[in-house]
Amino acid sequence: MKKLSYLVLFICTISSAQSILSPSKELQLSFSISKEGKPTYSVNFKNQPIVKESSLGIVLKDADDLVANFKIDSIGQKSVNETWQPVLGEQSNIKNNYNEMTAALSQPATGRRINIIFRVFDEGVAFRYEFPKQKNLNYFIISDEKTEFNLVGNHKAFWLPGDFDSQEYPYTESKLSEINTDNIDRNNGIGLKSISGKYIVQSPLMMKTAEGVYINIFEAAVVNYPVMHLDLVPEAYQFTSHLVPNAIGDKAYLHAPCVSPWRTIMVSDDAREIVSSKMIFNLNEPCKIEDTSFIKPMKFVGVWWEMHVGKSTWDYAGSQNAQNAADGQLKPSGKHGATTENTKYYVDFAAKHGFDGVLVEGWNTGWEDWFGNWKENVFDFVTPYPDYNLKEVNDYAKAKGVKMIMHHETSSSVANYERHLDRAFKLMKDYGYTAVKSGYVGRIIPRGEFHDGQTMVNHYNYVAQRAAENKIMVDSHESSRPTGYNRTYPNYVAAEAARGNEFNAWSVGNPPMHETILPFTRLLGGPMDYTPGIFEIKMSYYDKSKTEQVHTTLAKQLALYVTMYSPVQMAADLPENYERYADAFQFIKDVAVDWQDSKYLEAEPGDYLTVARKEKKGERWFLGAITDENARDTQVKLDFLSPNKKYKAVIYQDGKDADWKNNPKNYDIKTMEVTSKSKINLHLANGGGTAISFQPIN
Ligand code: NOJ
Ligand code: CA
């Protein structure tokens, strides 16, 4: 049931500064027009400045800019307090409570009109540009957006270097004045590095002031518009929006009436308020899919990690085999992962342990020729390799009650993917697939556009819409980072769109603090397919010469199922590794992925996170606690449990000698009886974690 209360306060014609408060009255946004007619805003929290006077404006191509010479025509205010229910999510009910102010502006000289809409929530402010229908601003080209964020101090920041093609970097933690993106090495072997710019960083950008206030700059509802990166003037602590350009340097092609995405600034002196915020989703349009019954949470295994660790390959014939074979025919290399037989092994494993699905990568032709060759027509998304029998695999899975998950690596050959999309979805429907994992590795083909430009934003959203029409769920990798659009298209169930666990298999990897930052950045915009659950942590297990490893303890891999929210979660390691640690694997088998409620108990970006969640359909709770490279002892109150109930708690924790580097597989499992009055002491090793399941006894 949707509860909604609108209160229109007043509409009038004014020219002086205007301000609105959050429902709690702790956060204040002020808006005014400068002497030159420039729209400006500022933000205060508990009467302290957070954002100093900052300009707002849009630069048009071939027309007078929308940055100055404005007057205020009217100011309107209203309040909204409603509750809505996500199809899948961290909680069953999401509260959307804010005060809104719309400033209607016009430029007397040009007669052009824009509206700036401000919303103030308890945990942050948001604003967007609205371009009403009008005579002389019909079809227009944005060549720049001049939205400033003038901060008031040299805050600590967790930042990613600006790169219009990828977010797959580790975070750097530094003062704003120390941000310098020169010489950043992605160390992932892909080498996109498509832009340089000393002081461009990505959003969401998480910061903390010396006084302990948490600030996050991000955006919501990026639809038909490019992604916003941020230019920094380090000594002034001043950020300005940097929209991702298209192939010829334009930023966005728009038709009025239309809107920009929301620019968001979250502010709180309690980190838990930021990490649990649903503000980004609240700023997106409600669900546009009528029948959402096909959107289901999923736990899955897959023919996947074995390729990342080098045990098998995506391709059938071995790289370059196609070019080198005298007769042009592919010859099997013997290392192909996605064979009918191997897939059946995974299906058996999934069925035996109660998993919903099996992902298979490398099932289709093209993998000999994709990476490095970057041919446009390399994948057709429908032709299996000779050793992969689609029908046989799907019949087998169906008989065992397991769903197959489709894989579409596009190699960023996007026009090619769009040409094949209908046929690719038809094949999925023919065989009963309900979910696809897509991928956008490499620069966009044909060259020119960026992953984060308007064209590609529209592509990802278009695929989600077409998938919805076909009752298909999408989990995209290497797409632009989500900004809450899965409220509108909840079949867009997850994305990677950040540096995932896979980097630990073949690069310097992700430092232990990585997973303590992602919930404050990437996950604010939507679920992340991080692919947790790696038990064989050191790659020397597969090849003695390898030194790569996951920067984790085994217990932390379990905790990630709770701390890294996604309604589709992979048990990413190999079945045989799970068989060897069957007692720890039990947690992955048990853990829920769709939730009635979530309680963030402890949080500090870059340091630690503890969250407890109650399953959507049932009475079980699960807790995940993770730490960075520092060991941590903490006591957790279990007052989130239902009173008057007894629970059996199974605690999966780091062993006494656990340490992510020297002894990552050292873990203990203990069982105890607890109630809502109990407190539990947790010990997390360096790079460690704790996972707990709570099952009511009665
Ligand atoms: C990168 C994706 O993140 C990964 O999951 C996938 O296996 C490879 N691309 C190949 O598509
Ligand atoms: Ca990836």
Domains and CATH numbers, the chain: 3-282 (2.70.98.10), 284-497 (3.20.20.70), 512-523+530-698 (3.20.20.70)
CA distance 248 to 257: 24
* 32 Cα–ligand 1 center, Å: 48
- Contact (CB, 8 A) for 136 and 125: no
Atom of ligand 1 nearest to the CA of 531: 5
* 477 Cα–ligand 1 center, Å: 7
- Contact (CB, 8 A) for 583 and 315: no
For residue 474, list its beta bridge partners: 436
- Contact (CB, 8 A) for 611 and 562: yes
Ligand 1 in reach of 475 Cβ (< 6 A): no
Q: Quick check: 111 pLDDT over 60? A: yes
**Test site for ligand 1: of 361, 413, 496, 506, most ligand atoms within 8 A of the Cβ:** 361
- Looking at residue 198, its pLDDT comes to 66
Phi, psi of 99, deg, nearest 5: -110, 140
For residue 651, list its beta bridge partners: 670, 692
574 pLDDT band, cuts 50/70/90, is very high
Q: Quick check: 322 pLDDT over 80? A: no
Q: Strand, coil or helix: what is 89?
A: coil
CA distance 451 to 457: 8
- Six-digit token string for 465: 């819409």
186 pLDDT band, cuts 50/70/90, is low
* 371 Cα–ligand 1 center, Å: 11
372 pLDDT band, cuts 50/70/90, is confident
Ligand 1 in reach of 515 Cβ (< 6 A): no
* Bridging pattern class, strands 148-151 and 156-159: unpaired
Q: Quick check: 10 pLDDT over 70? A: no
Ligand 1 in reach of 628 Cβ (< 6 A): no
Atom of ligand 1 nearest to the CA of 439: 11
Reply yes or no on whether 502 is catalytic. yes
**Which are the contacts of 164, defined by CB distance < 8 A and separation ≥ 6?**
194, 195, 227, 229, 244, 245, 450, 451, 452, 453
- Contact (CB, 8 A) for 98 and 80: yes
- Burial class from Cβ neighbours inside 10 Å (0-12, 13-18, 19+) for residue 284 reads buried
Rg of the chain taking only CA atoms, in angstroms: 25
Nearest CA among 196, 175, 176 for reference residue 185: 196
- Contact (CB, 8 A) for 486 and 527: yes
What integer is the mean pLDDT of 240-254?
A: 95
Instruction: Return the ∠ at Cα 573 (arms to 336 and 510), rounded to 5°.
Output: 105
- List residues, by chain if needed, whose CB lies under 5 Å from ion ligand 2: 477, 496
Q: Which residue matches tokens 């580097």? A: 661
Give, for 465, the enclosing helix (H) or strand (E): helix 454-469
Residue of higher predicted confidence among 186 and 609: 609
Ligand 1 in reach of 409 Cβ (< 6 A): yes
CA distances to 311, 440, 548 from 337, rounded to whole Å, are 8, 21, 21
**Test site for ligand 1: of 313, 315, 409, 569, most ligand atoms within 8 A of the Cβ:** 409
CA distance 232 to 238: 6
Q: What is the DSSP letter of 481?
A: P
Question: What digits encode the pLDDT tens for the residues 115-159?
Answer: 999 999 999 999 999 999 999 999 999 999 999 999 999 999 999
CA distance 109 to 335: 70
Atom of ligand 1 nearest to the CA of 437: 5
Q: Which residue matches tokens 């692919």? A: 531
Average pLDDT of the chain? 94
Ligand 1 in reach of 168 Cβ (< 6 A): no
Q: Strand, coil or helix: what is 67?
A: coil
Q: Quick check: 234 pLDDT over 90? A: no
C-alpha count within 13 angstroms, C-beta hemisphere, residue 322: 11
CA distances to 30, 104, 265, 382, 604 from 214, rounded to whole Å, are 20, 31, 10, 48, 10
Question: What digits encode the pLDDT tens for the residues 546-570?
Answer: 999 999 999 999 999 999 999 999 9
Atom of ligand 1 nearest to the CA of 496: 3
Name the least confident of 52-56, 194-198, 229-233.
Answer: 194-198
What integer is the mean pLDDT of 156-168?
A: 93
- Contact (CB, 8 A) for 593 and 567: yes
* Bridging pattern class, strands 18-21 and 27-33: antiparallel
What integer is the mean pLDDT of 596-623?
A: 98
Q: Quick check: 195 pLDDT over 70? A: no
* Bridging pattern class, strands 403-409 and 435-439: parallel
- Looking at residue 183, its pLDDT comes to 61
Q: Is the dihedral of CA 324, 329, 331, 337 positive or negative?
A: positive
CA distance 299 to 402: 11
11 pLDDT band, cuts 50/70/90, is very low
**Test site for ligand 1: of 169, 301, 304, 502, most ligand atoms within 8 A of the Cβ:** 502
The model carries a pTM of: 0.96
For residue 20, list its beta bridge partners: 29
Catalytic residue (one of 148, 306, 502, 515): 502
- Looking at residue 6, its pLDDT comes to 43
Ligand 1 in reach of 500 Cβ (< 6 A): yes
- Looking at residue 185, its pLDDT comes to 59
Q: Quick check: 589 pLDDT over 80? A: yes
